[in-house]
Chains A and B, each alone.
Chain A
Amino acid sequence: MDLDRLKQLHHFFNESVGAHRDMSMQLVSLENGKVELIMPFQQKHSTHRIDGGLHPGALAAAIDSTCGFVIMLNLEEPQAIATINLKLDHIQPAPAGEDVRIHAECYQIHNGFAYVRAYAQDITGDKLLCSSVGVFKLGSAGPDLVPEISKNRS
């Protein structure tokens, strides 16, 4: 998918779709089939009221979203994607009160499935927080996203 359309897709999800709007992830880069997003720290997504970092579940949601996004980057046309399996290794806690970086790469699309690896780092990029691999079904049950995105292009 071309980059302008992908940015439009990101904007559409961030503005209109509950979980994506709630996370408000910021697009950092789209290069060589890879995506980098920033998950902003929000108190409601933290582990503790005082000195809490982003909860592992919040990182999981951010990684799942980023995986879907990088798959779109590797498709000709946007289509519904369903997560089939997500494996997450939580290596160390997210630093208290800090945003995190999420990187994702779709390394294979085969027979209607997309295979993605992703990881979360602290905002400096020095600490690996979480490493993940996922399998996603393309063209899953439900209408394609194409009509909705086309409608939003006008």
Chain B
Amino acid sequence: MTTLLIDYLQDSPYAANYGMQLLRTDPEVECTTPWQDDFVGNPLIQAWHGGIVTGVLELTGKLQALKVAATQTGPLLSANVNFLRPTRGGSLVHTQAHLVRSGKQIININVIAWQLSPQEPTANASLTFAKRLQGDIQPT
């Protein structure tokens, strides 16, 4: 299963460009994403761009969905992202997913991002993925 997740991180140019590293998959998917100068959104407070944080949260959720549903994982349908604190530039971001429910057609996953400790999250996301039925082929 871990091989599938690592393959996704390496095969998707978007994920590879972020340099996200998979730390563990058990009990939940946890990743780190190192800082890049291309991530800055506000030059004066050197904060991570909100859209980049969203991308990191979505990628972590995608890995959790792959862990749960493997090849039945469908596309991301919806994301609701709360920005709780500034995500400081120059420091990496930890992300951890939590499976809320895996149903017949939908997978619900929550993801938090933090820098100092998980008790001080900088952002969280509620993600909804579609689940593919057997034989249903569509691009992700």
Contacts and interface: CB of A to CB of B under 8 A. Distances in A.
B40 interface: yes
Nearest to B41: A19
B88 to A, nearest CB: 11
A19 B51 contact: yes
Contact of B14 (A55, A64, A86, A88): A55
Interface stretch (B23-31, B53-61, B91-99, B106-114): B53-61
Contacts of A63: 51
B76 interface: yes
Interface stretch (A3-11, A28-36, A77-85, A103-111): A77-85
B140 A93 contact: yes
B13 A45 contact: yes
A89 B80 CA distance: 9
Contact of B45 (A44, A65, A142): A142
**Chain A contact surface mostly:** mixed
Given A55-B14, A87-B79, A80 B59 contact: no
B132 interface: no
Interface string B8-43: 000111101100000000000000000011111111
Contact of B83 (A62, A85, A145): A85
B91 to A, nearest CB: 15
21 contacts: A17-B41, A18-B40, A19-B38, A19-B49, A44-B17, A45-B17, A46-B12, A47-B12, A47-B13, A47-B14, A51-B139, A56-B58, A60-B51, A61-B54, A64-B50, A65-B41, A65-B51, A83-B81, A88-B81, A142-B45, A143-B45
Would you list the 6 A-B pairs with minimal beta carbon distance, nearest first? A61-B51, A57-B55, A142-B45, A64-B51, A19-B49, A83-B50
